[in-house]
Amino acid sequence: MSEAPQQTFVIQKIYTKDVSFESPNTPELFTTEFQPGLSMDLNVESRNLEGDVYHVVVRVTAQTEIEEKTAFLCEVEQAGIFTIGGFNDAELSYMLGVQCPNALFPYARETVSDLVARGGFPQLLLEPVNFEAMYHEHMQQLAQESETAQ
């Protein structure tokens, strides 16, 4: 009787990989009524570094426009190095697509909020993200693409 391999999930490091904040139309925008339109883009990337060690990046891009002029553009890449072992391929994919981003997103959210406030704009609190739903949607899309390709 063989034992199942021991599963490990260890956060080795969480760090900010890249930060960008631009407010190209200030100070003029500070003299107008602030009723912004916000657009947000979220992306998760992962890659194997070596053995059971993986690098995962959550990229958050938030852009706000006022009267078709960019008020600010904020991009944060929050990254982490994780040791993930003892999982089959499907479980590993889930860990990289859901569990790692869940660990990283609160840091990215805080960084975006801090940058926007330092830029002189009202605090921006990003809504929590359901990475599990995003992951399942992505997996369904991949399945549909592979069916179409056959």
Match 């391929």 to its residue by tokens.
89
Go through the chain and tell me how many residues it has. Answer: 150
- Would you state the pLDDT for residue 23? 94
- Would you state the pLDDT for residue 117? 95
Burial of 101 (0-12, 13-18, 19+ CB in 10 A): buried
- Would you state the pLDDT for residue 3? 61
Predicted TM-score of the model (pTM): 0.87
- Each of the 150 residues of the chain gets a pLDDT tens digit; together they read 556 679 999 999 999 999 999 999 889 888 887 777 889 999 999 999 999 999 999 999 999 988 888 999 999 999 999 999 999 999 999 999 999 999 999 999 999 999 999 999 988 889 999 999 999 998 898 888 878 876
